[in-house]
A and B are shown apart, each in its own frame.
Chain A
Amino acid sequence: MKSVLAILTVVVALVGFWYAACVPMNIHEAAMQAQRAGEEVTPAEAPERRHMGRISLALKNTGLWSTVFSQERPQLPAPHQVAQEFWKTTWGMIERGRAFSKRSLILHGWITLSATLLGFAFGTALGIVLAVSIVHSRAMDMSVMPWIIASQTVPILAIAPMIVVVLAALSVDDIVAKGVISMYLSFFPVVVGMVKGLRSPDAMQMDQMKTWNATRTETLWKLRLPSSTPYLFASLKVGVAASLIGAVVAELSLSSNGGLGARLLAGSYYGQTVQIWSALFAAAALAAVLVWAIGVAQKVTLKRMGFAQ
Chain B
Amino acid sequence: MNNETIPQVDPPKAVVEARGLDLTFQTKDSPIQALKDVSLTIEQGDFVSFIGPSGCGKTTFLRCIAALEQPTGGNLTVNGMTPDEARRSRAYGYVFQAAGLYPWRTIAKNIKLPLEIMGYSRADQDERVKKVLQLVDLEGFGGKFPWQLSGGMQQRASIARALAFDADILLMDEPFGALDEIVRDHLNEQLLKLWERTNKTIAFVTHSIPEAVYLSTRIVVMSPRPGRITDVIESPLPKERPLDIRDTPEFLEVAHRVREGLRAGHAYDD
Contact = CB atoms under 8 A, between A and B. Distances in A.
Are A and B part of the same complex?
yes
A212 B68 CA distance: 12
A296 B67 CA distance: 44
B88 interface: yes
A218 B117 contact: yes
Contacts of B103: 305-307, 309
Interface stretch (B93-101, B179-187, B207-215, B253-261): B93-101
Interface string A199-238: 0000011011111111000100011001001000000000
Contact of B104 (A209, A211, A226): A226
B117 A222 contact: yes
A210 B145 CA distance: 24
B88 A223 contact: no
B68 A210 contact: yes
A307 B103 CA distance: 7
A205 B100 contact: yes
Nearest to A304: B104
Nearest to A211: B94
Contact of B87 (A205, A213, A306): A213
B245 interface: no
Interface string B103-114: 110000000011
B123 interface: no
B178 interface: no
B80 interface: no
Contact of A306 (B67, B92, B113, B146): B146
A165 to B, nearest CB: 46
Q: Name the residue among B66, B96, B117, B146 with the largest chain A CB count within 10 angstroms.
A: B117
Given A204-B98, A222-B117, A226-B102, A211 B87 contact: yes
A223 B117 contact: no
Query: Size band of the A side of the interface?
Result: 20 to 34
B118 A212 contact: yes
- Centre residue among B87, B102, B147 by max chain A CB count within 10 A: B102
Interface string B125-161: 0000000000000000000011100000000000000
Interface string B202-235: 0000000000000000000000000000000000
Nearest to B66: A211
A226 B102 CA distance: 9
Contacts of B67: 210
B57 to A, nearest CB: 17
B19 to A, nearest CB: 24
A213 B96 contact: no
A280 B104 CA distance: 41
A214 to B, nearest CB: 5
B98 A222 contact: no
Interface of B: 1, 66-68, 87-88, 90, 92-94, 96-98, 100, 102-104, 113-114, 116-118, 145-147
Interface of A: 204-205, 207-214, 218, 222-223, 226, 229, 304-307, 309
Given A204-B100, A213-B118, A309-B103, 16 more contacts: A204-B96, A205-B100, A207-B94, A208-B94, A208-B96, A210-B68, A210-B87, A211-B66, A212-B117, A212-B118, A214-B117, A218-B117, A306-B103, A306-B145, A307-B103, A309-B147
15 contacts: A204-B96, A207-B94, A209-B117, A210-B87, A211-B68, A211-B87, A211-B93, A213-B118, A214-B117, A222-B113, A222-B116, A222-B117, A226-B104, A304-B104, A306-B145
